[in-house]
Structure 1
Amino acid sequence: MKCPYCGKEMTLGYIQNRDDLFWTSQKRVVASVPLGGGEKVHLGCGDGNPFVGGETEAWRCRVCKKIIIDYGKD
């Protein structure tokens, strides 16, 4: 995959965490358990259980230091 920022080739890998993976619109003390208000997007695999662990494929650009994640893939 080509980096959309610099055009160089990206490397496929994984972002992993012992808890599940979420993006949240509000910063929280424990980001892996996105309780409370605000929007959240589940990034990891599985059913969204924050106690199971998570991983997701991610493309890394070594040149411009960007990581791209496609979420919503099963």
Structure 2
Amino acid sequence: MKSSTESTDSLAPGSAKPVAGPGGSSGSGGHVSGTHVGFWGGLMTALLAVLVLAAAFTAPPRSGAYYPGDCIQYP
């Protein structure tokens, strides 16, 4: 039976890839946890909702009681 040092000695230098642990980083970059994606996705969704709501409130009416000029008639 081989020991753990014997099994890694058979690999060529630089061929073994580091493996990231649960909270660690492998150093390769690009690793994003689901928590980060969920946080930023939720934040961007809330920001977009606020912007759309602000645009809806500030848009002038095209017809109705509050329209300042000639109303667009119902077809």
Whichever structure has more strand as a proportion of its residues is 1
Give the TM interval when normalised to the shorter protein.
under 0.3
Structure with greater contact order relative to length (CA < 8 Å, sep ≥ 6): 1
Whichever structure has more helix as a proportion of its residues is 2
Structure-2-length-normalised TM-score: 0.19
Q: Of the two, which has the highest radius of gyration?
A: 2
